[in-house]
Amino acid sequence: MLREFFGYYRPWLGLFWLDFGCAVLSGLLELAFPLAITAFIDHLLPQGNWSLTVAAAIGLMVLYAANTGLLAIVVYWGHKLGINIETEMRARAFDHLTRLSWRWYDRARTGKLVARVTRDLEEIGEVAHHGPEDAMIALMTFIGAFLLMFWIHPQLAMIVALIVPAMLALVIFYGGRMTRTWRAIYSRVGDFNVRLEEALGGVRVVQAFGNESHESELFAVDNQNYRKTKLEAYKVMATVSALQYMGLRFVQVIVMVMGAYYVMRGDLTTGGFVGFLVLVGVFYRPLEKIAAVIETYPRGIAGFRRYQELLATDPEIADAPDAIPAPALRGDIRFENVSFGYDERPILRGIDLDIKAGETVAFVGPSGAGKTTLLALLPRFYEPTSGRITVDGMALDQLQLHSLRRQIGLVSQDVFLFGGSLRENIAYGRLGASDAEITEAARQAQLGPLLDSLPDGLNTIVGERGVMLSGGQKQRVAIARAFLKNPPILILDEATSALDSQTEREIQSALDALSVGRTTLVIAHRLGTIRNADRIAVMQDGRIVEMGEHGALVARGGVYARLSG
Ligand SMILES: Nc1ncnc2c1ncn2[C@@H]1O[C@H](COP(=O)(O)OP(=O)(O)OP(=O)(O)O)[C@@H](O)[C@H]1O
């Protein structure tokens, strides 16, 4: 896994080495400052040479200025490295997410997905930047400071070293607790997101049922859980920082006392003494860094695991290696003994169906009979469990998915509109369509009068999911998209919601115009559509139980006669 993680550094190796190199140099300079102080006190002061003192001070300032520059580089370019990696991962995650199957999305929670693409990747970015750099600096200053202290005064250095294992044990112990607490916090944030997403997304339903307080109570549970978990984390943080502070100060006092003793005995110079005291601070700092690494690293790694899992999710429905681009289709469609179930429960059972190019077939039957499911197999939103489907004699899975879907228009019951303008929403049917083409499609879909009445015309913003449009208008936008797409095959899932008869007539005539010259499969809830169909397929319990023209089916006196009667 680490190898894969470091693979993401490859395009940014230059940045990585720049960041890493500057961090190492800065670490070395940190070690040089205590030595400079020692030399200053022990060698310069006794000489009483003022100009040399000023020169030394200027030299020290230059060193500090250099270190400032190095630190600025580390902060900016290091974070740049992190965000570059994060951006690349986010792009891949989004790309993959847009390709996952309907079956996968049936089980997904959007709130959690959003958290993965945003928060998880942010954590990884942080680790990508700080991980190697922190670990290296910590190790280097830790060992370096100890060697220098040992060089100044071995016995004193050993006293400091005695305290190190205790501090490390502390850091590791609390680091582990911190990791667990953070994991819990993030899981709480996930719950939170899901709740927010559903309550706000469904706020109209919440209000319609007067269930605001109920939602607030549910939210309060998540909110309080989050608070409790956060408080746990703060407790651990308080303990760690208190212990760290106490540890450092105690060691400093011990060093002060012991150092003073050695100075009085003439074993240690004053400069060595002061330098040593500063080194204790330098030596101690990596412990904090190690604590930080122990805290952030597992978070990043947990995020990276989830990211890898996401990328490894099988899109289920994808192009076979030998799939060919679909040629311009005529629109002959065949279902051969097709069966399907979303899970173990069979929904479609051995469907055989032959539709000629240009034909309009209406599907009717009781709710839950499998009409929508059957038609969802044609653009390969789901794969049949057995049997096969062909268009123009070619099996669907021989064709490249995009080239197939480009030739199938879909007008479904619940039209999804994006939160932009009417223009953007209609143009979704064929990206890059000109304004003239968009307007023409809108008029064909009977949106003309609406466009004329809107001061902003095509630029009118439709609101999130198109809330500013009526149900009938949304339907017409979907029809306009289909006109613009101009596919040889059309799937219409009629709106079941009652439209007034005038609107219904307009939409029906737009749909009739749309289906001219195309193979049209329509899930019919209205008699008007059924009459226009060349044939009617009556579905029941996942089977086609009757097939034929309206008159013949009525005369037969079977299921259809009962349904339409
Ligand atoms: N995504 C899904 N996951 C699992 N089961 C599903 C899914 N979609 C539909 N079903 C189930 O499949 C069965 C057939 O549903 P389908 O929507 O195809 O029926 P329909 O004939 O179109 O009904 P309606 O006329 O009410 O739209 C139903 O029992 C439904 O519960």
pLDDT tens figures, 36-45: 888 888 888 8
For residue 364 and ligand 1, the question of a CB distance below 6 A is answered with no
The mean per-residue pLDDT over the stretch 425-445 comes to 90
Domain boundary among 312, 339, 372: 312
As given in the structure block, the two tokens for residue 379 are 């653009």
Distance 250 CA to ligand 1 centre (A): 70
Distance in angstroms (rounded) separating the CA atoms of residues 307 and 10: 18
Report the alpha-carbon angle 15-70-82, nearest 5: 35
- The reply to whether 467 and 494 lie within a common domain is no
> Among residues of the chain, what percentage have pLDDT more than 90?
34
Q: What is the predicted pLDDT for the residue at 12?
A: 87
Reported residue count of the chain is 565
Residue 64 lies in a domain: yes
Q: Provide the pLDDT confidence category of residue 550 given band limits of 50, 70 and 90.
A: confident
Query: Which CATH number belongs to the domain containing residue 325 in this structure?
Result: 3.40.50.300
- The reply to whether 402 and 531 lie within a common domain is yes
Query: Which CATH number belongs to the domain containing residue 50 in this structure?
Result: 1.20.1560.10
Domain that includes residue 468, residue range: 417-481
The mean per-residue pLDDT over the stretch 157-163 comes to 86
Residue 195 lies in a domain: yes
Q: Which of 284-288, 432-436, 495-499, 555-559 has the highest mean pLDDT?
A: 432-436
Q: How many domains does the chain have?
A: 3
- The reply to whether 434 and 542 lie within a common domain is no
- The reply to whether 89 and 29 lie within a common domain is yes
> Among residues of the chain, what percentage have pLDDT more than 70?
98
Q: Provide the pLDDT confidence category of residue 488 given band limits of 50, 70 and 90.
A: very high
- Among candidate residues 92, 82, 93, 95, the one with its CA nearest the CA of residue 123: 82
Task: Using the atom order of ligand 1, give the atom closest to the CA of residue 369.
Answer: 21
Q: How far from the centroid of its chain's Cα atoms is residue 194's Cα?
A: 14
Distance 471 CA to ligand 1 centre (A): 22
3-state class percentages of the chain: helix first, strand second, coil last, to nearest 5: 70, 10, 20
Residue 10 lies in a domain: yes
The DSSP symbol for 41 reads I
For residue 347 and ligand 1, the question of a CB distance below 6 A is answered with yes
Residue 565 lies in a domain: yes
For residue 333 and ligand 1, the question of a CB distance below 6 A is answered with no
- The reply to whether 208 and 333 lie within a common domain is no
Residue 61 lies in a domain: yes
Instruction: Please tell me which residue, 491 or 135, carries the higher pLDDT value.
Output: 491
Per-residue pLDDT of 84-143, as tens digits, reads 999 999 999 999 999 999 999 988 887 778 888 888 888 888 888 877 777 778 888 888
- The reply to whether 520 and 435 lie within a common domain is no
Q: What is the DSSP string of 126-178?
A: HHHHHHHHHHHHHHHHHHHHHHHHHHH-HHHHHHHHHHHHHHHHHHHHHHHHH
Minimal-distance CA residue to ligand 1 atom 5: 342
Distance in angstroms (rounded) separating the CA atoms of residues 550 and 561: 9
Q: Is the pLDDT of residue 498 over 60?
A: no
Task: Using the atom order of ligand 1, give the atom closest to the CA of residue 542.
Answer: 14
- The reply to whether 240 and 348 lie within a common domain is no
Strand, helix or coil at 508? helix
Among 363, 371, 494, the mutation site with the greatest number of ligand 1 atoms within 8 A of its Cβ is 371
Between strands 360-364 and 519-523, the pairing is: parallel
For residue 370 and ligand 1, the question of a CB distance below 6 A is answered with yes
CB 8 within 8 A of CB 128: yes
As given in the structure block, the two tokens for residue 342 are 């979303």
Distance 348 CA to ligand 1 centre (A): 10
For residue 368 and ligand 1, the question of a CB distance below 6 A is answered with yes
Residue 162 lies in a domain: yes
CB 506 within 8 A of CB 540: no
For 269-418, strand residue ranges (E) read 333-340, 348-355, 360-364, 386-391, 394-395, 408-411
Order of strands across the sheet with 394-395?
A: 348-355, 333-340, 386-391, 394-395
- The reply to whether 88 and 21 lie within a common domain is yes
Distance in angstroms (rounded) separating the CA atoms of residues 58 and 51: 11
Q: What is the predicted pLDDT for the residue at 487?
A: 92
Distance in angstroms (rounded) separating the CA atoms of residues 141 and 31: 7
Per-residue pLDDT of 294-326, as tens digits, reads 767 777 877 888 888 889 988 888 888 999 999
Q: Is the pLDDT of residue 376 over 80?
A: yes
For residue 371 and ligand 1, the question of a CB distance below 6 A is answered with yes
CB 68 within 8 A of CB 31: no
Instruction: Please tell me which residue, 564 or 325, carries the higher pLDDT value.
Output: 325
Distance in angstroms (rounded) separating the CA atoms of residues 73 and 29: 15
- The reply to whether 53 and 201 lie within a common domain is yes
Distances (CA, A) of 242 to 177, 276, 288, 358: 16, 23, 12, 78
Residue 412 lies in a domain: no
Distance in angstroms (rounded) separating the CA atoms of residues 423 and 243: 62
Distance 368 CA to ligand 1 centre (A): 5
For 292-439, strand residue ranges (E) read 333-340, 348-355, 360-364, 386-391, 394-395, 408-411
For residue 76 and ligand 1, the question of a CB distance below 6 A is answered with no
Minimal-distance CA residue to ligand 1 atom 4: 342
Q: Provide the pLDDT confidence category of residue 496 given band limits of 50, 70 and 90.
A: low
- The reply to whether 463 and 439 lie within a common domain is yes
For residue 299 and ligand 1, the question of a CB distance below 6 A is answered with no
**546 exposure class (CB count in 10 Å sphere: 0-12, 13-18, 19+):** buried
Distance in angstroms (rounded) separating the CA atoms of residues 139 and 128: 18
- The reply to whether 145 and 279 lie within a common domain is yes
> Lowest-confidence range among 41-50, 150-159, 186-195, 530-539?
186-195
Q: What is the predicted pLDDT for the residue at 535?
A: 93
Minimal-distance CA residue to ligand 1 atom 6: 342
- The reply to whether 426 and 400 lie within a common domain is no
Write the single-letter amino acid at 355. I
Distance 537 CA to ligand 1 centre (A): 17
Instruction: Please tell me which residue, 131 or 335, carries the higher pLDDT value.
Output: 335
Residue 376 lies in a domain: yes
Q: Is the pLDDT of residue 370 over 80?
A: yes
Distance in angstroms (rounded) separating the CA atoms of residues 269 and 48: 17
Domain boundary among 289, 312, 335: 312
Q: What is the predicted pLDDT for the residue at 250?
A: 87
Domain boundary among 312, 331, 356: 312
Between strands 360-364 and 535-540, the pairing is: parallel
Q: Provide the pLDDT confidence category of residue 497 given band limits of 50, 70 and 90.
A: low
Minimal-distance CA residue to ligand 1 atom 10: 342
